[in-house]
Structure 1
Amino acid sequence: MNTLKTSFRSWQKVCATSLSALTALGAGPAAACTALMITDANGVAYSGKTMEYSTPIPLLMTYMPAGTRVVSLAPDGSDGMSFTTRYPILGGATAAALQPGAHQGMMVEAANDQGLSVSSNELPETVEPTDVGTDKAKQLAGTDLSNWVLGNFATVAEAKAALAKGEVKVWLPKLDFVSGILPEHYIFFDKTGDGMVIEFTGGRMNVYDNPVGVATNGPEFPWHLANLRNYSFLDNMDRNSGQFGKLKVTSPDSGNALAGVPSTQISYGRFVKAAYYTTFTRKAKTPQDAVVTLAHILNNFDRPYNLSEDAAGTGGDGTKIWDTSSEVTIFTWMNDKARNRYYLRTIDALSFTAFDIARLASLKKVVAVDFTKFVDQPDGTQMLLDAAAQ
């Protein structure tokens, strides 16, 4: 049996950069993430996300085999809930534990071998739940929520049922690098295309169905669904002719159906834009075509340096020590749920690195490699296998 309490201490040494550096920089959480999901012609789902940040984040591509023992913390700092994972997990984890005494880093983006995936996106409206119970065996730090869901469940329906039964009491630890609780909501998609969003607002944990397969940031998820009513006119059919008085006109080009799609990069605009792309893009007939289609969609949310800038102290993601900051797409990831594959592209890469989760099944210990090692490397699977052999 693998125990994260000891295993993660060893792989944390791989990355010399600590999250304490983010504290010194005055950095906050990722502020402009877009998670989305599409289905192919057979109804199989494929999910992905762009993660934007103004400061480099020390993340490790981490494989956690089935049978790994995870020990979470209780609010008083002692050990809380513990569990042994049923399914292996592959994803991006923080290079260090986020709170004192924690036994593992936080999985911020990941998938298991059943096709269940998670994305954690910033939600400024996040508040601490008031009911975290007194039974330490059920108390789970929010930073371990991804591990609990992906490690124990194959589908969104299974996870929702366990949450409804009160199998866990999630609490939100205060973290130095954000000067408070981590303001995140959690987006889950499974192989069937079912989705849910978990948010901590109004003093409680709220679990929402995700009927559109999209999530960005604040406000709360129900607000975004209601806001789509303002875009009921959207359609993908161009209108190429019209008349002004006696002047008849025709469009010189195609694509004007997107005229009403928001171009802004703020949260509500990206939500509507993502909903448009996932609704109207042609459904692929094969898994390979679906992954290529998903990559094309995600390219529309990719942000290079200085695409937009925030002055310090003016909101957005301006930091304490720089005059301005520019959120960029630190990484883009995709989960091919049909073939059980995972793809990563970092800010410095031209192409995606591929990971075959099934090929990693031989690994019996936690393995982690710094994200920066995968820049334009095609076979991430072999790199993890090689790291495990060292």
Structure 2
Amino acid sequence: MCTSVTFLSETGDNFLARTMDFAFELDGRPVVIPRHQHFNSSASTAGYDTKLAFVGAGRNLNGYVLVDGVNERGLSGAALYFSGEASYSDQIKDDHTNLASYEVLNWLLGNAESCNHAAELIQKLNVVNAPIKLMGKVIPLHWILSDRYGDCRVLEIRADGVHFLKNPVGVMTNSPEFEWHLKNLNNFTELQPNPHPDRDYNGYRITAFGPGSGALGMPGDYTSVSRFVRTAFMRQYTTSAPSKAAVNVLSHILNSVEIPKGVKLKENGGADYTQYRGYMDSSHLTYYMQPYDNQTIAKVTLTEELMTNQQPVEFPLAHEQTYDSLN
């Protein structure tokens, strides 16, 4: 379970941020995937190739798997859980790129230059019911993409086909499908940052107990439905800022949906919690990672040296230490 949100700075730079909420320990860390890499695939023996360099959070599972990141053309993306809704193919297709769900983000970041370009590539994408060995099951995912021009899309593969949807609110969480979340916002037209006016009941005047009454009725639980509404509200009304302060602003927005350990338990006793937050700067090609156990933010920027390296470069998260590829 995760939450993602976009942010356009006062200076016109586009950012994508996400919480990674999961019970299974993913043990991700910042990774740079250089240009022109070949990846093996669980879906077919052909594997897949990438052209563009990208940086994000990932792990080496006999080949790196990333769950969010930004590429050298400023396209950023994140994979989020989509349980009960994702529907993939049981067979590979000729003349298509056949991938397992957890491989899709690598392929998109490694080949697409914008959301419009991604729309073209997706026409030849076939996501197959192939499990990831780490967890021993098919991972139900959908994806949010945002480019340096501010375009934002959602990719969902459901029983009725592939949906690559415009995202006007710049927010995505988990199930149900994205159109449902948009329609559900109609139930919260009363939300506003300023207080509601006083009311008169037959001469009896009622007044709000201080500022903040405009947000009365905003859901505060950790379901995907409530996190979507809450984040859409925060994104809409949070004061804008220059690019140098954007990560700080996004951190405050995500504070409203961060899940501490122990407050969201699953039926099997496992606890979903926010393992980290990721922030992607589409203009400066920079990835920021903020882990749960250490709120210090690691920063890695795509440089020519990193993008032309022969092998991926991993930046382990050390206690109270940041990684800044600019220095």
- Taking structure 1 as the reference length, the TM-score comes to 0.76
Structure 2 counterpart of 1:94, from 29, 52, 59: 59
2:312 alignment partner, one of 350, 357, 366: 366
What letter corresponds to residue 313 of structure 2 in structure 1?
V
Shift of 1:131: 6.6
Aligned residue in 2 for 1:39:
8
Q: How far off its partner does 1:81 sit?
A: 4.3
- CA offsets, 1:336-362, max 9 Å, x none? 223222111111012212222237346
Structure 1 residue 347 corresponds to structure 2 residue 304: no
Q: Following TM superposition, by how much is the alpha carbon of 1:147 offset from its aligned partner in structure 2, in angstroms?
A: 1.6
Assess, with a 3 A threshold, how the Cα gap between structure 1 residues 42 and 271 changes in structure 2: closer, same or farther.
same
Q: Deviations over 1:353-374 (max 9, x none)?
A: 222223734644211244xx24
Q: Deviation at 1:176?
A: 5.2
2:277 aligns with 332
Letter of the 1:377 counterpart: Q
After superposition, give the CA deviation of every residue in 1:31-89 in whole Å (9 maximum; x if it has no partner): x20011111234431110111122322324211111223343444xxx2243242x211
**Partners of 1:184 and 1:111 in 2: CA distance:** 18
Percent sequence identity is 24
Match of 1:154 among 113, 116, 123: 113
C-alpha change, 1:134 and 1:162, in structure 2 (3 Å) is closer
Alpha carbons 2:18, 2:78 under 8 Å: kept: yes
Query: How far has the Cα of 1:242 moved from its partner?
Result: 3.0
Aligned partner (choices 64, 76, 80) of residue 46 of structure 2: 80
**What CA distance in whole angstroms lies between the structure 2 residues aligned with 1:42 and 1:256?**
32
Aligned length in residues: 325
User: Quick one: higher RCO (CA 8 Å, sep 6+), 1 or 2?
Assistant: 2
Structure 1 unmatched ranges of 5 or more: 1-31, 98-103, 311-316, 386-390
Question: Do the aligned residues in 1 keep the contact of 2:101 with 2:138 (CA within 8 Å)?
Answer: no
Greater CA drift, 360-369 or 201-210: 360-369
Counterpart code for 2:267: G
Match of 1:318 in 2: 267
Report the more deviating stretch, 268-277 or 191-200: 191-200
Paired residues of 1:353 and 1:375 also in contact (CA < 8 A) = no
User: Structure 1 pair 74/53, CA: closer, same or farther in 2 (3 Å)?
Assistant: closer
In 2, Cα distance between the equivalents of 1:206 and 1:367?
33
Q: CA RMSD in A?
A: 2.4
Cα distance change on mapping 1:364 and 1:131 into 2, 3 Å: closer
Equivalent position of 1:4 in the other structure: none
Shift of 1:196: 1.5
Q: Name whichever of 124-133 and 265-274 sits farther off.
A: 124-133
- Which residue of structure 2 aligns with residue 205 of structure 1? 162
Q: How does 1:196-345 map to 2 (within 5 A)?
A: 196-202=153-159, 204-239=161-196, 241-284=198-241, 286-308=242-264, 310=265, 317-319=266-268, 324-345=269-290
Residues 1:251 and 1:171: Cα distance change in structure 2 (over 3 Å): same
Separation (CA, whole Å) in 2 of partners of 1:354 and 1:58: 17
Alpha-carbon shift at residue 214 of structure 1 (Å): 0.7
Stretches of structure 2 that go unaligned for 5 or more consecutive residues are none
Structure 2 distance, partners of 1:170, 1:348, is 34
2:57–2:278 contact (8 Å) kept in structure 1: no
Structure 2 CA distance, aligned partners of 1:333 and 1:362?
24
Kept after mapping to 2: 8 A contact 1:353/1:374 = no
Partner residue, 1:186: 143
Indicate conservation of the 8 Å contact 1:131/1:204, yes or no. Answer: no
Question: Structure 2 length as normaliser, TM-score?
Answer: 0.90
Please identify which structure carries the higher helix content.
1
Distance 1:348 1:126 in 2: 31
**Residue in 2 that maps onto 1:7:** none
- The Cα offsets for residues 295-330 of structure 1, whole Å up to 9 and x where unpaired, read as 11112111212223x3xxxxxx333xxxx3322110
1:90 shift after superposition? 0.8
| Aligned 8 A contact 1:353 1:376 in 2 | no
Distance 2:104 2:281 in 1: 22
Query: Separation in 2 of the partners of 1:114 and 1:233?
Result: 39
